């Protein structure tokens, strides 16, 4: 019989600039909440998989999984750290998923964290730019918002989309974040602010970009044997897929996210699903323009028309996305899964009656795209 | 119960703002910043000390105005404190130079104080205690700075030059007497300059919420709690002004309407004068106040600490305003300079001498 994988409990911290907490304190908070939600005890955990993108550069800490285990009082278990840039959290969950499927473990704790506010912004920006290829882009001072600026300019030109239309994405994200207790930017914005917003890389402004965030998220991933203990409905991790794109400078069309599209094609064919405008999706909108391109690559909206269908998507980034919920990089994909689990189990502010939900995760402008398909407990 | 310091008050005050100004947008353009950055923190222009001005010359001018307004013979001043983070000598007091130039008695306490932007107000608190205890008759507290900023750092948009001085003495002679004085201090590394370093370093966002806002809010709440006063009891509130935006923001957090905060804001037109910042704002309020009005003044210094001081204006203020240049007169007296002239005046250009 095929083994199924479930998220039986999850917990997150409020995303913020946590000047008063180190990464261990943030992780401790998230894990305590996840354990309480799952009904499991520390001694039940067999495997600890930790996700972080920048612990070595920002915190001078190699393999934080060992120190997280020590701090949480874990002893008899295996630990490892996954560090795969912006997709670290998706890779960590895939690893846990594979462990369960392979029968190597039955109860895996997946933890993601990031502390991005430890240093002034030039240090943070230098670290964050390492998600791009250092020898090609980093060394020439091409930064992530520079690519977003190129892509936004080309998208607006090609499809006749206005600047005000693009920022509708951010406006919607902030509206959702106001209703999300753990979101970082809990305030609304309007297109009127565009003229005053500080430019990061023309035409990208602060209104288009994710903030600098600290946070931690934890998921209890198990086989079916542990699902009876949880007080909340478990959510099935049906599948995790991924695909890699060409470098931006070699793409024929920089406004089409083909890695996300390819991963979606594999996932939808294998699992016989098709996303609709009312399916719950959580996507990696590091910049608002990327959010638009992702929902086009996922075939939710027509190419070049995403700004026109935003109002028809009630379950798009219900937490406010990276734009407004925040982007504690190594933890972000786990926040996405936590939020979708809350949606599927009825714990979210949004009332969702669909059976499946999808998290889309990517590194840079679709350099490496991952999809996580979740399903309501049947 | 009588609150410590309440038998003392401000006998005279004086200020100094250098005549030169540089537009903040010119600095932004120099370094390729987005022009809108100056609007986002509300800074229009800043005052620049000339090549022959420093903390001592500016502090002397402000102190002299304070003594003139007070009408007190310098020989009766028993203490001189200079709060600064830009003293001309690393070792040698600025306060002694100013005191001697003013003709203040040799029988005195005299020292320079350092606590980022709030050493000047710490000087006021020490002078208050010395007067209250009967150790001295009058004490002079000066806040004066030619603030440094790393060229190209966002701090350069605001770091400026200026001075303010207050003569503290018995309440019955004062233009405004102290009602309550409290101070809130923690170890918070939001802004610093290490020994040997030419320019300070700051923690960007960390200078805001956990530093400026936390300390001012804590100090003011401490004063409100101990005094039983509330924002509606005050006619004006003056806060430290690293930029034009922060004092309005902290006023809003504490429940002060904009109308009570705006009259004391000077930074958008002269920049952040560091140790003179809140004290210049207080001077501007005093010069426009009516007897019986109550003023809250809350200086802040990185490192970090904030004071909250409640003063009540007396009738004596009216006759003293015109005895020396007012803040508004100093604000309107200005000459614009280029970035190159600014760089020359502030010794930002490295050259071989001799």
**Over the stretch A17-32, which tens digit does the pLDDT of each residue have?**
999 999 999 999 999 9
Identical fold between B8-175+323-345 and B176-313 = yes
pLDDT more than 90, % of chain A: 91
Handedness of CA A64, A70, A71, A73 (dihedral sign): positive
Cβ contacts of A17 on chain B, cutoff 8 Å: 205-206, 209
Of A19, A117, A198, the CB nearest to B37: A198
Q: Measured between CA atoms, how close is A203 to chain B, in angstroms?
A: 12
Taking an 8 Å cut-off on Cβ atoms, the answer to whether A17 and B209 are in contact is yes
Chain A residues with CB-CB distance to B40 below 8 A:
196, 198
Domain shared by A303 and A174, yes or no? yes
Active site residue B26: no
Catalytic residue among B45, B117, B156, B287: B117
| Residue A134 placed within a domain | no
Q: Is residue A201 part of a domain?
A: yes
Query: Which residues does chain B have with pLDDT short of 70?
Result: 1-2
Please judge whether A196 and B205 are an interchain contact, meaning their C-beta atoms are less than 8 angstroms apart.
Answer: no
- CA–CA distances in Å: residue B158 to residues B17, B146, B155, B205, B336: 14, 12, 6, 16, 15
Residue A231 — pLDDT band, cuts 50, 70, 90? confident
Q: What's B176-313's CATH class?
A: alpha beta
In a shared domain, residues A165 and A292: yes
Q: Say what the pLDDT of residue A186 is.
A: 97
**Is residue A187 exposed (0-12), middle (13-18) or buried (19+ Cβ within 10 Å)?**
exposed
Chain B residue set in contact with A, beta carbons under 8 Å = 34, 36-37, 39-40, 202-206, 209-210
User: Across all residues in chain A, what is the average pLDDT?
Assistant: 95
Handedness of CA A319, A320, A325, A326 (dihedral sign): positive
Q: Is A59 exposed, middle or buried (0-12, 13-18, 19+ CB in 10 A)?
A: middle
Assess A198–B contact: CB distance below 8 Å, yes or no. Answer: yes
For chain B, say whether A24 makes contact (Cβ under 8 Å): no
Q: Of A117, A120, A199, which is closest to B34 when you measure between CB atoms?
A: A199
pLDDT at A324: 98
Query: Do A210 and A323 meet the contact criterion of CB atoms below 8 Å apart?
Result: yes
Nearest to A360 by CA among A374, A344, A346: A374
As a whole number of angstroms, the distance between CA B76 and CA B69 comes to 15
Cis peptide upstream of residue A145 (ω within 30 degrees of 0): no
- Asked if the C-beta of A121 comes within 8 angstroms of chain B's C-beta atoms, the answer is yes
Q: Are residues A301 and A269 in the same domain?
A: yes
Identify the domain containing residue A16 by its residue range.
Answer: 5-116+212-235
Residue B339: its pLDDT value, please? Answer: 98
CB within 8 Å: A17 and B205 = yes
Global pTM?
0.88
Instruction: Judge if A230 and A293 occupy the same domain.
Output: no
Say yes or no: A48 and A73 in one domain: yes
Q: Which chain B residues are closer than 8 Å to A117 by Cβ?
A: 205-206
Per the domain annotation, does A53 fall within a domain?
Answer: yes
Measured between beta carbons, the chain A residues lying within 8 angstroms of B37 are: 198
CB–CB contact A121 B206 (8 Å): no
Higher-pLDDT residue of A378 and A60 is A60
pLDDT at A13 over 90: yes
Domain chopping of chain B, boundaries: 8-175+323-345, 176-313
Residues A185, A160 within the same domain: yes
Nearest to B204 among A120, A197, A199 (CB): A120
Identify the pLDDT of residue B2.
59
**Do residues B199 and B148 make contact, with C-beta atoms less than 8 angstroms apart?**
yes
Q: Is residue A170 part of a domain?
A: yes
> Which value, to the nearest 10 degrees, does the dihedral of the CA atoms of residues B34, B37, B40, B45 take?
-130
Does A316 lie in the same domain as A246? yes
Same domain, A244 and A220: no
What would the pLDDT profile of A96-148 be if each residue is shown by its tens digit? 999 999 999 999 999 999 999 988 888 999 999 999 999 999 999 999 999 99
Domain identity same for A204 and A75: no
Contact B179, B227 (CB under 8 A): yes
Whether B85 is a known active-site residue: answer: yes
Contact A196 B36 (CB under 8 A): yes
**Catalytic-labelled residue, pool B202, B214, B215, B240:** B240
Position A67 in a domain? yes
**Which residues of chain B neighbour A199 with C-beta distances below 8 Å?**
34, 36
What integer is the mean pLDDT of A64-69?
97
User: Which CATH number fits the domain that encloses residue A277?
Assistant: 3.40.47.10
Q: Is B199 exposed, middle or buried (0-12, 13-18, 19+ CB in 10 A)?
A: middle
Mutate to test the interface with B, among A117, A198, A200, A206 (most CBs of B within 10 A): A198
| Element at A155 (helix H, strand E) | helix A144-159
B240 given a catalytic annotation: yes
Query: Token digits for A144?
Result: 């992530």
Domain termination residue (choose one: A195, A220, A235): A235
Q: How far apart are CA B189 and CA B303, in angstroms?
A: 5
- A126-160 burial, b at 16+ Cβ within 10 Å, e below that, comes to ebbbebbeeeebeeeebbbbbbbbbbbbebbeebe
Q: What pLDDT was estimated at residue B160?
A: 98
Mutate which: A16, A17, A20, A208, vs B, most B CBs within 10 A: A17
End residue of a domain, out of A235, A269, A290 = A235
Choosing from B85, B132, B173, B287, the catalytic residue is: B85
The CATH number fitting domain B8-175+323-345, selected from 3.40.50.300, 3.40.1170.60, 3.40.47.10, 3.30.70.3040:
3.40.47.10
pLDDT confidence band for A1 (50 / 70 / 90): low
The interface predicted TM-score of the complex, written ipTM, equals 0.79
Residues A352 and A261 in one domain: yes
Across the range A288-315, mean pLDDT stands at 97
With contacts defined as CB-CB under 8 Å, which chain A residues touch B209? 17, 19
Question: Domains in chain A: how many in total?
Answer: 2
Indicate the pairing of strand A47-51 with strand A107-115: parallel
pLDDT tier, A205 (very low <50, low <70, confident <90, very high otherwise): very high
Write the burial class of residue B41 (CB in 10 Å: 0-12 exposed, 13-18 middle, 19+ buried).
middle
Other residues' Cβ atoms within 10 Å of the Cβ of residue A270: 12
Which among A19, A196, A199 has the least Cβ separation from residue B206?
A19
Verify that A102 and A167 share a domain, yes or no. Answer: no
Indicate whether A126 belongs to any domain.
Answer: no
Distance from CA of A158 to the nearest CA of B (A): 27
Q: How far is B150 from chain A (nearest CA, A)?
A: 14
């Amino acid at each position: 019989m095929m083994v199924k994988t479930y998220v039986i409990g999850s917990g997150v911290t409020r995303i913020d600039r946590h000047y008063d907490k180190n990464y261990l304190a943030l992780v401790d908070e998230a894990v305590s909440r996840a354990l309480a939600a799952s009904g499991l005890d520390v001694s039940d955990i067999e495997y600890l998989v930790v996700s972080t993108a920048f612990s070595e550069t920002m915190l001078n800490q190699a393999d934080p999984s060992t120190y997280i285990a020590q701090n949480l009082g874990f002893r008899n278990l295996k630990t490892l750290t996954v560090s795969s840039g912006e997709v670290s959290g998706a890779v960590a969950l895939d690893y846990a998923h594979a462990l369960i499927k392979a029968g190597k473990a039955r109860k895996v704790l997946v933890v993601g964290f990031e502390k991005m506010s430890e240093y002034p912004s030039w240090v943070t920006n230098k670290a964050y730019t390492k998600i791009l290829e250092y020898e090609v882009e980093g060394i020439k001072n091409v930064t992530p918002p520079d690519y977003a600026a190129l892509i936004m300019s080309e998208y607006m030109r090609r499809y006749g989309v206005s600047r005000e239309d693009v920022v509708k994405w951010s406006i919607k994200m902030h509206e959702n974040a106001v209703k999300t207790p753990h979101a970082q930017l809990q305030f609304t914005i309007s297109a009127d602010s565009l003229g005053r917003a500080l430019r990061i890389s023309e035409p990208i402004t602060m209104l288009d970009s994710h903030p600098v965030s600290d946070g931690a998220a934890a998921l209890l991933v198990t086989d079916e044997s542990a699902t009876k203990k949880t007080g909340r409905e478990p959510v099935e991790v049906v599948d995790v897929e991924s695909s890699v794109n060409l470098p931006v400078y070699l793409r024929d069309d920089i406004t089409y996210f083909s890695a996300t599209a390819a991963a979606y094609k594999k996932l939808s064919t294998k699992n016989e699903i098709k996303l609709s405008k009312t399916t719950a999706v959580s996507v990696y909108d590091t910049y608002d323009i990327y959010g638009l391109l992702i929902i086009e690559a996922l075939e939710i909206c027509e190419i070049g028309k995403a700004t026109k269908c935003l109002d028809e998507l009630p379950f798009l980034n219900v937490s406010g996305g990276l734009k407004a919920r925040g982007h504690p990089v190594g933890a972000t994909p786990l926040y996405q899964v936590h939020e979708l689990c809350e949606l599927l189990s009825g714990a979210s502010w949004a009332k969702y009656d669909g059976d499946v939900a999808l998290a889309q995760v990517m590194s840079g402008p679709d350099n490496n795209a991952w999809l996580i398909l979740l399903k309501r407990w049947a | 119960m009588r609150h410590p310091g309440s038998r003392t008050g401000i006998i005279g005050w004086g200020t100094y703002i250098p005549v030169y100004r540089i537009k903040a947008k010119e600095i932004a353009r120099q370094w390729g910043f987005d022009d809108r950055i100056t609007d986002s923190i509300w800074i229009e222009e800043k005052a620049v000390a000339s090549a022959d001005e420093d903390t001592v010359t500016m502090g002397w001018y402000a102190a002299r105005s304070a003594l003139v307004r007070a009408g007190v013979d310098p020989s009766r001043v028993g203490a001189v404190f200079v709060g600064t983070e830009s003293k001309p000598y690393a070792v040698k007091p600025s306060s002694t130079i100013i005191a001697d130039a003013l003709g203040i008695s040799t029988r005195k306490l005299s020292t320079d104080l350092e606590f980022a932007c709030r050493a000047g107000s710490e000087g006021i608190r020490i002078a208050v205690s010395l007067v209250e205890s009967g150790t001295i008759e009058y004490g002079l507290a000066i806040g004066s700075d030619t603030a440094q900023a790393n060229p190209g750092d966002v701090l350069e948009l605001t770091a400026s030059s200026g001075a303010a001085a207050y003569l503290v003495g018995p309440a019955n002679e004062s233009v405004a007497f102290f009602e309550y004085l409290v101070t809130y201090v923690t170890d918070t590394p939001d802004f610093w300059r290490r020994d040997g370093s030419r320019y300070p370093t700051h923690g960007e966002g960390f200078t805001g919420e956990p530093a400026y806002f936390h300390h001012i809010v804590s100090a003011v709440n401490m004063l409100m709690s101990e005094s039983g006063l509330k924002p509606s009891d005050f006619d004006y509130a003056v806060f430290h002004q690293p930029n034009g935006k922060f004092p309005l923001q902290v006023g809003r957090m504490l429940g002060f309407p904009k109308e009570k905060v705006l009259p004391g804001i000077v930074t958008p037109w002269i920049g952040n004068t560091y140790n003179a910042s809140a004290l210049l704002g207080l001077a501007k309020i005093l010069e426009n106040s009516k007897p019986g009005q109550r003023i809250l003044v809350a200086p802040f210094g990185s490192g970090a600490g904030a004071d909250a001081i409640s003063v009540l204006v007396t009738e004596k203020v009216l006759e003293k305003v015109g005895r020396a240049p007012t803040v508004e007169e100093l604000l309107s007296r200005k000459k614009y300079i280029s970035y190159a002239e600014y760089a020359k005046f502030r010794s930002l250009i490295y050259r071989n001498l001799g």
